[in-house]
Structure 1
Amino acid sequence: MDKVWLKQYPEGVPQEINPDQYASLVALLEESFEKYRERAAYKFMGKAVTFGQLDDLSRAFAAYLQSQGLEKGDRVAVMMPNVPQYPIAVAGILRAGLVVVNVNPLYTPRELEHQLKDAGAKAIVIIENFAKTLQECQAQTPTRKVVLTSMGDLLGFPKGAIVNYVVRKVKKMVPAFSLPGAVRFKDAIAQGRTAPFKRPEIKRDDIAVLQYTGGTTGVSKGAVLLHRNVIANVLQSEAWNAPAMKKVPAGEQVVTICVLPLYHIFAFTVNMMLSLRIGGCNVLIPNPRDMSAVLKELSQHRFHSFPAVNTMFNALAHHPDFNSVDWSSLSLSVGGGMAVQQATAKLWLEKTGSPICEGYGLSECSPSVSCNPTDSKAYTGSIGVPLPSTEFKLLDDEGQEVPFGTPGEICVRGPQVMAGYWQRPDETAKVMTADGFFRTGDIGTVDERGFFRIVDRKKDMILVSGFNVYPNEVEDVVAQMEGVLECAAVGVPDERSGEAVKLVLVKRQPQLTEADVRAYCEQHLTGYKRPRIIEFRNELPKTPVGKILRRELRGG
């Protein structure tokens, strides 16, 4: 393919980045803490956290973790929405030489138990809203140290106390829980201030993050992201965004809206880490589902960068309060996580003057691997071209490269590609080629200019609002329900979320109802994995060998 895509690079964007620019992710963070000390790194509910405060609080948290007997390489889970405690905890975990395990706060006890056990997480930092979930599965996990935080913890008095009161008593968002021995976040910071901090030696090839991704075998696997993987992706994204960032007036701090959840690798790298690197500020949105609250928050800021998924762009653009926000300084809208739809892109450009630059990434790649040029004027419908230091090739089922215009599996090589799946050499072997390319499972084509387009999926994965749902996992859970003989899950097109889960069941007991199945799924599957459509049939279509033909279930 001869890297034809390099001809599409905007002026000033380098073909290569240097992933060895920093000795570790900690070196990158500490450079920014020093350089931008007085600047706001985060804004949350009207309160700012500066780079200097982030430095001070995360160092205290690192010392606290070390004082608890955690040693280099131990895993610490983080289960919170977008609150300032998140970046503080992450920076503290990394500075202590530990490994961040990002956890979706909406997980059910079953999902949380699997992840904590699989990662071998010795500690967890969790917001109290989800403490009951932990209580229900903690005994089955190795997670003994619990640091508990609440929504208003860093808002100061009296605002923090008011916010916590409203969350707990008025909105009743904190179910009763019992976690004996849990330490409050503020107390952990206070203890850490008086404890010695021993700076560990951290290398580029040490593990920084275990980022869990759905598994084709029905359970999710941890993508092992090294310090150098995340550093590389931060530098790749920075280089790629440079043409758009030129529109920001000289000397003005880049403000990014953080509406994507930080536990998702897209926001982890593109919001949190990239902003820290460039001395930018993230406006943290704790509940992106509340569109009125999101727009009210946005109306109070002048901002330049807005990474989001198609569903978010679409919902905002159609909201009656959209014009209460000043969009005039928006320089970069990046769409990722799921396909950006043409209608959404057209409406967004009309309303904001900022085209959505669609990119493509995977948890296994820290995540970004390709993007449309950020000086684009319009929607292309493609996933753009490979980022600096990144190579793509398209392979057929025999592992041979296919010519231009012919569909093949997109395979990626670059410094952002994971070291492998956590303790799963068999699964790692399935996705890595002998020459170091990662097989994405997505089928794509490339045109003569080097622009790639996704046309299909090799795996049966369902993509709901940017989140991977693996049919096997949904099927494994539902098959355990009394009254179910067999079942199959497939993705069907959905205007709101791109795709939705459709579940087709064969009953073992005639009295089984749709309401029973929904209640069961609510108990065992997090929101985006739950079926939107439930259908009962007398039998499922199968191959002669007995394998369920999922494709035949998508229609009708």
Structure 2
Amino acid sequence: MVENFWMDKYPAGVPMNIDPDQYPNVQAVLRASCERFAEQPAFTSMGKTLTYGDLYQLSGAFAAWLQQHTDLKPGDRIAVQLPNLLQYPIAVFGAIRAGLIVVNTNPLYTAREMEHQFKDSGARALVCLANMAHLAQAVVPKTQVRHVIITEVGDLLPPLKRLLVNAVVRYIKKMVPAYHLPGAVRFTEVLAQGRDQPVNEASPAGHDVAVLQYTGGTTGVAKGAMLTHRNLVANMLQCKALMGANLGEGNEVIITPLPLYHIYAFTFHCMSMMLMGNHNVLITNPRDLPAMTKELARWKFNGFVGLNTLFVALCNNAEFRKLDFSALKVTLSGGMALQQAVAERWQAVTGCPICEGYGMTETSPVATVNPREHILIGSIGIPVPSTVCKVIGEDGQSLGFNEIGELCVKGPQVMKGYWERPDATAEILDAEGWLKTGDIALIQPDGYIRIVDRKKDMILVSGFNVYPNELEEVLVCLPGVMQCAAIGIPDEKSGELIKVFVVIRPGASLTKEQVIEHMRANLTGYKVPKYVEFRESLPTTNVGKILRRELRDEELRKRGLKKIA
């Protein structure tokens, strides 16, 4: 069933397989696209547009600087910690052209989170926004990072606008805390010094790592998924194969509200849309709905990539509902479950249905998607070309149609493994290339797959993975905490919200505000709990392991929701 089952499930014109070796590496795709679409727009941010020709020239300047002004060598890791700005694709493609491995880093990370990721990856260089340079100042001396490149929000805008934007961010909004990073170089200086200098184009093999994308997988501390050039090229071609009938090449405008450092947006916008020569309109802050809606009004956009929470917020915005959606052909959803009511409302507002897909960091990430020609709301669609799925029981054996078990994925986009963690790799990836996703699913006779539940205790907040172990490790460091547990509880807006349970040490005292303040100081915003409950004890197994699921089931009962099986 597994190998050939989906052969007749693809829409007409969509191949069952792609050739992941069509391009030897990401550089080859970039070079071909930048030559073919040189005059076409590639990325727009804050009113400034880079063509594909501009992108190649500027990423070349960045690569040349890395090669001629640092001691970085092919295979070294460079952390890129930027929001959706033009600097992001320049830095990423420049680093890849120089042979470096990109470590995508969330700009909202706290110093503790940055330190873990930089140390674990062995990053030797960092590109970051001035807004978080004060955190870099505290973290860099504790790591192997020796080269720091600092940029400001407006650095790539025309001169007068650059001065104005940077001044407003720094002095009016006061969003750039004071920092001192001796030896740090400005992004603009890097481009100036690298301009017109030769680039020694790296030529990595398909199996060489291109990106370290950090994830907790299904449990535990964040690990670096090794995504190879072949992984990324395969996923580009897979996305193109499924979208080719709906999105053209070289002339489509795609709205980009999700952060490029997240694997979903990274692969779709920086990789797949680059392959197709399309135009990505970067939204730097999607939480600012008025500004985002104003930007959208400037475009007759053809594609929109989002997730459930964003669709909800936009459909509830009166100005968004007034926009011209006549050119919108494709809306894609991922990162978290798409609610049926949200999908129906989006289509009513925009006239465009949502194609929900599924993936993981470990699958580069796209593994399945609903074809535009046949969308089944509530499902994650069918496997992308050259990909097969199966559902297994506790004994590891494949199950039949509509039987519930753990979803497994096999394809050329499946990661090489976890960075320097062979044991963790062996737990999730077998010798035949099957990746255990940790999600509980069923496969229907028509080939469509439905996610039923999560196997582990991972919490999903607005499309971001949150891991209870990490939350509990931070919380237990707060004086007065004896025991604690973190769970996710259903929320219509964000998918799940975080609740923590705390047992206080005898004689100690704590308030909800103190708990949240401590968590906020040590964790990114979306990891901070919304609810805190103090208890005298927590349910445990006979060996003392806290039963999170019992807490979660109790919380569901209190809210009148169905108990998780």
**Matching of residue 506 in structure 1 with residue 508 in structure 2:** no
Q: TM-score by structure 1 length?
A: 0.97
Whether 1:415 aligns to 2:412 is yes
The partner residue of 1:452 within 443, 449, 452 is 449
Whether the 8 Å contact between 2:441 and 2:449 is mirrored in structure 1 is yes
Cα distance in 2, alignment partners of residues 441 and 217 from structure 1: 9
1:216 to 1:472, Cα distance in 2 relative to 1, 3 A: farther
Which of 137, 149, 159 in structure 2 is aligned with 1:157?
159
State how far apart, in whole Å, the 1-side matches of 2:384 and 2:495 are: 25
Q: Distance in 1 between matches of 2:151 and 2:502?
A: 41
Shift, 1:526, TM fit: 0.4
**Of 129, 134, 137, the match for 2:136:** 134
| Cα contact 2:250–2:278 (8 A) shared by 1 | no
Look up the SS of the partner of 1:160 in the other structure. helix
Q: Provide the rounded CA distance (Å) in 2 between the counterparts of 1:227 and 1:272.
A: 13
- CA distance in 2 between partners of 1:494 and 1:7 (Å): 38
C-alpha distance in structure 2 between counterparts of 1:216 and 1:453, whole Å: 18
2:348 is aligned, of 343, 347, 350, to 350
SS at match of 2:58: helix
Q: How many correspondences in the alignment?
A: 551
How far apart in 2 are the matches of 1:432 and 1:80?
Answer: 31
Pairing 1:103–2:105 present: yes
C-alpha distance in 2 between matches for 1:182 and 1:45: 25
- Contact kept, 8 Å, 1:257 with 1:284, in 2: the verdict is yes
In the TM superposition, residue 519 of structure 1 has moved relative to its aligned partner by 0.5
1:11-30 correspondence to structure 2 within 5 Å: 11-30=12-31
Distance 1:149 1:53 in 2: 18
Question: AA paired with 2:545?
Answer: K
- Tell me, in whole angstroms, the C-alpha distance in 2 between the residues paired with 1:428 and 1:348: 39
Matched residue type, 2:100: L
Match of 1:338 among 329, 336, 345: 336
Match of 2:255 in 1: 257
Of the candidates 224, 227, 239, which is equivalent to residue 226 of structure 2? 224
Mapped contact 1:356–1:379 kept (Cα < 8 A): no
Superposition pairs of residues 197-216 of structure 1, within 5 angstroms? 197-214=199-216
- Equivalence map 1:107-118=2 (5 Å): 107-118=109-120
**Which stretch shifts more, 505-514 or 74-83?**
505-514
Task: Tell me the secondary structure at the aligned position of residue 203 of structure 2.
Answer: coil
Counterpart amino acid of residue 498 in structure 2: V
> Does residue 466 of the first structure (1) align with residue 463 of the second (2)?
yes
CA deviation profile, 1:261-310 (whole Å, cap 9, x unmatched): 00000000111111111110000000011111111100001111111111
Alpha-carbon RMSD across the aligned residues, in angstroms, is 1.3
Q: Which letter does structure 2 place at the counterpart of 1:319?
A: N
Q: How many angstroms apart in 1 are the aligned matches of 2:499 and 2:186?
A: 41
Give 1:195 deviation, angstroms: 4.1
> Could you list the per-position Cα deviations for residues 212-250 of structure 1 after superposition, in whole angstroms to 9, with x for gaps in the alignment?
0025663200000000000000000000112322xx6xx
**How far is 1:510 from its partner?**
3.6
Match of 2:563 in 1: none
Paired position in structure 2 for 1:46: 47
Secondary structure, counterpart of 1:212 in structure 2: strand
Aligned equivalents of 1:463, 1:26: Cα separation in 2: 33
| Code of the aligned partner of 1:257 | I
Whether the aligned pair in 1 keeps the contact of 2:218 and 2:438 (CA below 8 Å) is no
Separation in 1, partners of 2:236, 2:359 = 13
Q: Which runs of 5+ in 1 are unaligned?
A: none
Q: 1:238 aligns with which of 237, 240, 250?
A: 240
User: C-alpha separation between the residues in 1 aligned to 2:219 and 2:408?
Assistant: 21
Deviations 1:384-428 (A, max 9, x none): 011100010111111011111110100000000000000000000
CA positional deviation for 1:194: 5.3
Aligned letter for 1:10?
P
| 1:295–1:324 CA contact under 8 A, matched in 2 | no
Per-residue CA deviation, residues 446-477 of structure 1 (Å, 9 max, x unaligned), is 11111100001111100111111111111111
Is residue 250–residue 279 contact of structure 2 (8 Å, CA) maintained in 1? no
Taking the aligned partners of 1:351 and 1:252, their CA distance within structure 2 comes to: 27
Q: Distance in 2 between matches of 1:196 and 1:57?
A: 12
Partner of 1:183: 185
* Structure 1 equivalent of residue 562 of structure 2: none
Q: Kindly, what percent of the aligned residue pairs are identical?
A: 52
The 3-state SS of whatever aligns with 1:411 is strand
Contact 1:490-1:553 within 8 A present in 2 as well: yes
- Pairing partner for 1:170 from 168, 172, 178: 172
Per-residue deviation at 1:177?
A: 1.3
Tell me which residue corresponds to 1:391: 388
Looking at structure 2, the residues matched to 289 and 244 of structure 1 have their Cα atoms a distance apart, in angstroms, of 29
- By how many angstroms is 1:341 displaced? 0.4
Q: Does the alignment pair 1:76 with 2:45? A: no
Give 1:196 deviation, angstroms: 3.7
Q: Alignment partner of 1:321: what SS? A: helix
CA contact (8 A) 1:342 1:379 kept: no
Query: Is the 8 Å Cα contact of residues 108 and 523 (structure 1) preserved in structure 2?
Result: yes
Aligned runs of 1:49-64 on 2, under 5 Å?
49-64=50-65
CA-to-partner distance for each residue in 1:475-530, whole Å, 9 max, x for gaps?
A: 11111111100100111001111011111110115421111101100110101111
SS in 2 for 1:19: coil
Contact 2:40 2:250 in 1 (8 A): no
TM-score (norm 2): 0.96
2: CA distance between counterparts of 1:82 and 1:354?
A: 25
CA distance in 1, matches of 2:6, 2:486: 37
Segments of structure 2 that go 5 or more residues without pairing to the other structure are 559-565
Question: 1:538 deviation in Å?
Answer: 0.6
Contact 1:506 1:538 in 2 (8 A): yes
The answer to whether the 8 Å contact 2:217/2:362 transfers is no
Shift of 1:201: 2.5
SS at match of 1:441: strand
Post-superposition offset of 1:548: 0.8
Q: Which residue of the partner structure matches residue 35 of structure 1?
A: 36
Distance 2:325 2:174 in 1: 34
Q: What stretches of structure 1 move > 6 A for 4+ residues in a row?
A: none
1:8 deviation in Å? 2.5
1:359–1:372 contact (8 Å) kept in structure 2: yes
What is the one-letter code of the residue matched to 1:353?
A: G
The alignment partner of 2:195 has SS state of: helix
Checking the alignment, whether the CA contact within 8 Å between 2:390 and 2:409 is kept in structure 1 is yes
Q: CA deviation at 1:379?
A: 4.9
Query: 1:356 & 1:168 partners in 2: Cα distance?
Result: 39
2:561 alignment counterpart: none
Residues 406 and 438 in structure 2, CA contact (< 8 A), matched pair in contact too: yes
Is 2:434 the counterpart of 1:432? no
The yes-or-no answer on 1:381 pairing with 2:383 is no
